[in-house]
A and B are shown apart, each in its own frame.
Chain A
């Protein structure tokens, strides 16, 4: 039974690697290899590489001070935080929201078996994130201190323990999110607020981490003694990495017990949570006068309703709505000092600071990509726009307009703040403000076009179109690529032609590219939408 369910889960998780979601046909071997290589590069090369650098920076200092255990406590903490925060919402949607919950619950399958198969998804995701921290951590330790057989075995057990801790934390947090979702009226916004608080905390820790790590390494013996005295459990935990068999046995047993307890508790509450729709009070209908909307207005309002109904959608595709005003306020408070510092760093040249400001504004606008999954999110409701007397291009325009509104308004605030603090000639100031606005239009066109050309119409959880579709990947990473394409050549040709002509050239390029994408969206994109 479990084997069949696991196979179903795994097929769903890795389906994108083996099947083209658009055509639903099997990918060629070469295509599969390219996809897996790209994924491996991202995980091993980029993430693994950066954590290897962190491990190298910390390991030698701590192990030579006889604080190897502190090294493992530190790196394990990073792994747990990364793994747990990375999968909270996946746990919630993966455990409680899949569309096949009802089907599986109606079958003669024990609830516990369904949970275990679902948990495997969460486990793999958590293991992946914690693995990019823990594997370099252990390898660096084995290289520097030595890879005795006992160290290797205990190191592997430590990694397994961490993956289980991540799983338990994810389940706990996912369960809290599920509970909140059932109890609250405006749950989408509350869930988004909680998530933002978590993300805020995460980044606070991330930015402070370097200072803390430096401090820790510099005063390793003091901190080490304090931790050992006040939190002996942490010391024991760190000892696992150093090959302490007793510590390994204690923590392995405790973790196994916790895992069994988690599955037991989840099994008890799962049925209720997975089958509940809402326990909030019933909203009473009162007839009231309605304001008629135009076709476009109605479609746009529908897009906004969808957006604000889903925490996943808001968090993953609308982060720019928050980031841009935050940047604006930050610029008003600290901008003048930072720009002056940058100007001084570049030998008194203000053009680099202006270019950097423009680049940051453009980069933040790529955090908004709500148009990219908008077509995919129609899913099984696609028959509604398709059977209505509406042009496909009007539907696509409404999806694009949502992203434009949600990006251009905060962007306008951010560029006004930028204009206030930037000390530059008027033409330069104007272009630094206008170019990010043009780029936001370009990003929206790109996201919308990709959304209709690479849709994922068959999904069991909305996470798939929101996070894992080709359209979203291209919109986000492609957006970053286009920002890099703008910023980097300045180092070569910008200095020759000057900042104002350089910005003007890019304003023309992005305007032309936006117009071209818009044209393709309403011609080729409309045809593609009608064919879905």
Chain B
């Protein structure tokens, strides 16, 4: 589903991501953890086709994000760490905008909006301007907009930040359901307990370099993910 090969991205003199390679298969929830400034957001943005990179390749279902960005983006959804949405739109207008861009039929979008807005208890606020939304409501709207076009790959940067416990629980359920249907999810998080419970695989990045990756069992062994992470950070 997603293959990252030797991804390298520099900002001036600083290497934000250094020769990073990962392979995410259909059905996998892949967690991405690392300290602040480790290169997680840069990697996720590169995968989503927002940031260009200096070296390496990113393939989504065999298609290069560099060579065929539009084709790749059609298959993925991206949720940033801070959901800066179009404040001048109402929630429903934003969802319809996203649905139009991805060519979702009116019947399908209505069904999905009904379903996911109910899940996140956002239905009554859909006609309100996004500018009046709280951070959590914006995050919920961003999640609905990601699910509305049935992407195969979902990229999420700290998706649980700002969500209330109920919404976070629902999101975890939706993530599992998505991957059980053959989709894949690549997301970053600082909440190691969530990563431990939710992810099939995990990758740890430090100063732009991938230092450990694999199935949850392979990475943590007999320890907790937190202990492994702290040990690796201390090295």
Contact = CB atoms under 8 A, between A and B. Distances in A.
A216 B16 CA distance: 70
A298 B90 CA distance: 14
Interface in B126-185: 126-129, 131-132
B101 A390 contact: yes
B37 interface: no
Contacts of B110: 287, 289-290
Interface string A493-532: 0000000000000000000000000000000000000110
A383 interface: yes
A306 interface: yes
Nearest to B91: A285
A306 B73 CA distance: 24
Nearest to B51: A386
A285 B124 contact: yes
Contacts of B99: 292
A383 B80 contact: yes
B74 A277 contact: no
Interface string A300-320: 011001100110000000000
B105 A283 contact: no
B92 interface: yes
B85 A384 contact: yes
B114 interface: yes
11 contacts: A285-B127, A285-B128, A286-B127, A290-B106, A302-B89, A386-B50, A387-B48, A387-B76, A389-B73, A389-B101, A531-B52
A291 B92 CA distance: 13
A301 B129 contact: no
A381 B84 contact: yes
A136 B89 CA distance: 47
A298 B106 CA distance: 14
Interface residues of B, number: 47
A302 B100 CA distance: 11
Contacts of A299: 101
A282 B125 CA distance: 8
A293 interface: yes
A157 to B, nearest CB: 44
A324 B24 CA distance: 57
Contacts of B64: none
Given A278-B129, A386-B50, A285 B84 contact: no
Contact of A309 (B78, B88, B114): B88
Nearest to B124: A285
Contact of B88 (A283, A295, A306, A383): A306
A306 B97 CA distance: 13
A277 B48 contact: no
B132 A285 contact: no
B86 A302 contact: yes
A278 B126 CA distance: 16
A387 B73 contact: yes
Given A381-B86, A383-B50, 17 more contacts: A282-B128, A283-B127, A285-B123, A285-B128, A287-B110, A287-B113, A290-B110, A291-B106, A294-B100, A295-B101, A380-B82, A381-B85, A387-B76, A388-B73, A389-B101, A391-B70, A530-B52
B100 A388 contact: no
Nearest to A313: B88
B216 to A, nearest CB: 28
Nearest to A385: B101
Contact of B86 (A286, A292, A384): A384
Given A289-B106, A290-B109, A381-B85, A388 B101 contact: yes
A379 B123 CA distance: 28
Contacts of A383: 45, 48, 50, 78, 80, 84
Contact of A305 (B50, B89, B128): B89
User: 8 closest pairs, A vs B, by CB?
Assistant: A298-B100, A309-B88, A380-B84, A389-B73, A285-B127, A389-B74, A285-B126, A283-B127
A20 B102 CA distance: 36
Given A298-B97, A381-B85, A284 B70 contact: no
Contacts of B52: 530-531
A283 B85 CA distance: 19
Contact of B100 (A297, A306, A384, A387): A297
A309 B129 CA distance: 11
A389 B48 CA distance: 10
B58 to A, nearest CB: 13
Contacts of A309: 88
Contacts of B114: 287
B2 to A, nearest CB: 15
Given A292-B106, A309-B88, A391-B70, A278 B132 contact: yes
Contacts of B124: 284-285
B97 A301 contact: yes
Interface in B59-78: 69-74, 76, 78
Contacts of B74: 389
